[in-house]
Amino acid sequence: MDVRSGFIETIGNTPMIRLRRASAETGCEILGKAEFLNPGSSVKDRAALAIVRDAEARGLLQPGGVIVEGTAGNTGIGLALVGNVRGYRTIIVIPETQSQEKKDMLRLCGAEVREVPAVPYKDPNNYVKLSGRLAEELAQREPNGAIWANQFDNVANRRGHYETTGPEIWRQTDGRVDAFICAVGTGGTLAGVGLYLKERNPNVVIGLADPCGAALYSYYTTGELKAEGESITEGIGQGRITANLEGAPVDRAYQIPDAEALPIVFDLLRTEGLCLGGSSAINIAGAIRLARDLGPGHVIVTVLCDYGTRYQSKLFNPAFLRSKGLPVPDWLETTR
């Protein structure tokens, strides 16, 4: 029988999908790694599993133990689901600005959710720092111990992508991949996949697709971390060089406004049947820009990070889009 055992074995080995319109418009093969088809519906299932396995291997987690994390939501969902399988409790610190759908899903998965005001990383009350302090406190009090997943600076995250996502992309393209591009939340995907592909073929071009409001486009083009503008996308948009990003081989960087990216997910839903979140839109827009720079005939891979229903109240909500000055497709008006 061809059977996978439960949640954990179902993570990874996601399909590679040819994006028809993006490919036709650029003359390149633009391929999306379908990470939204992971069992927790996002690319972050991989990081969650890699972090838990690393903590187990180090003897830091035992049944009944607690996993604490600061997350925009997807990593928390992955951690909660891995935790359910392995017998760990999960406590998630999340900025209150994140979509209601993700918070509801976290609670449904059994995570204890602590919503906190969204403040910059330099503030001691930033959600990531709060989660680190909470983990430290709980490690003293919890009978079975507690760990901080620390996805931003725990390089088990990028190692997970180096060991799984990178090799899958190489195999699925028969080694014909010319370029890989994605946005950065922790940098685990970009660095893990980038380092793996460069090792197989140093000529593979690695690109960054940065949303407005993030500082990495500026960093990789001028050397200075500087952020301008804003984006409604969630889970991406970094203001610092995380440990996962250190040494990431970034050859090209693009800053992608929401107004350029979001029409791509609207179109994909209505013409190619793919329902994706906002970070996938930034990634595909980045792949199209990279394709135009490289010229026709190249194989360009990007990441379809998570499922669009996770953002129904924002990305697919005309009133919300209008409040942000973003374009609303006609058909979306009639769905409400």
Active site residues: 44
In a 3-state reduction of DSSP, which class is residue 181? strand
Tell me whether residue 139 or residue 269 sits nearer to ligand PMP (CB atom). 269
Among 184, 197, 288, 299, binds ligand PMP (CB under 6 A): 184
Give the interface segment with ligand PMP, choosing from 56-64, 106-114, 187-195, 324-332 (CB under 6 A): 187-195
Residue 112 to residue 107: CA distance in whole angstroms: 7
Site for ligand PMP in 15-74 (CB under 6 A): 42-44, 72, 74
Q: Are 71 and 128 in contact (CB under 8 A)?
A: no
Residue 46 to residue 161: CA distance in whole angstroms: 7
Q: How far is the CB of 61 from ligand PMP (least distance, A)?
A: 21
Label the pairing between strands 66-70 and 89-95: parallel
Nearest alpha carbon to residue 165 among 9, 72, 34, 71: 34
Give the interface segment with ligand PMP, choosing from 182-190, 194-202, 204-212, 314-322 (CB under 6 A): 182-190
Among 76, 145, 187, 207, binds ligand PMP (CB under 6 A): 187
Among 26, 165, 173, 189, binds ligand PMP (CB under 6 A): 189
Q: How far is the CB of 185 from ligand PMP (least distance, A)?
A: 3
Contact flag: residue 236 with ligand PMP (CB under 6 A): yes
Tell me whether residue 190 or residue 205 sits nearer to ligand PMP (CB atom). 190
DSSP state of 43: T
Q: Are 93 and 114 in contact (CB under 8 A)?
A: yes
Residue 291 to residue 21: CA distance in whole angstroms: 13
Q: How far is the CB of 234 from ligand PMP (least distance, A)?
A: 6
Q: Count the residues in the chain.
A: 336
Label the pairing between strands 29-33 and 16-18: antiparallel
Q: How far is the CB of 89 from ligand PMP (least distance, A)?
A: 22
Amino acid present at 287:
A
Contact flag: residue 305 with ligand PMP (CB under 6 A): yes
Q: In this structure, is the dihedral angle defined by the CA atoms of residues 220, 221, 222 and 228, taken in order, positive or negative?
A: negative
Contact flag: residue 186 with ligand PMP (CB under 6 A): yes
Site map for ligand PMP, 259-298, x if CB under 6 A?
A: ------------------x-x-------------------
Q: How far is the CB of 283 from ligand PMP (least distance, A)?
A: 8
Q: How far is the CB of 103 from ligand PMP (least distance, A)?
A: 13
Site for ligand PMP in 106-135 (CB under 6 A): none
Name 51's Cβ contacts closer than 8 Å, sequence gap at least 6: 79, 149, 150, 151, 154, 156, 157, 160
Question: Token pair for residue 64?
Answer: 């009944």
Residue 240 to residue 227: CA distance in whole angstroms: 10
Tell me whether residue 188 or residue 286 sits nearer to ligand PMP (CB atom). 188
Q: What is the DSSP string of 90-103?
A: EEEEEETTS-HHHH
How many residues lie near ligand PMP (CB under 6 A)?
19
End-to-end CA distance of the chain: 44
State the DSSP H helix or E strand holding residue 179, giving kind and residue range, or none if neither. Answer: strand 179-182
Q: How far is the CB of 270 from ligand PMP (least distance, A)?
A: 21
Among 235, 237, 286, 308, binds ligand PMP (CB under 6 A): 235
Give the interface segment with ligand PMP, choosing from 78-86, 184-192, 195-203, 321-329 (CB under 6 A): 184-192
Amino acid present at 92:
I
Positions touching ligand PMP (CB under 6 A) are 42-44, 72, 74, 183-190, 235-236, 277, 279, 305-306
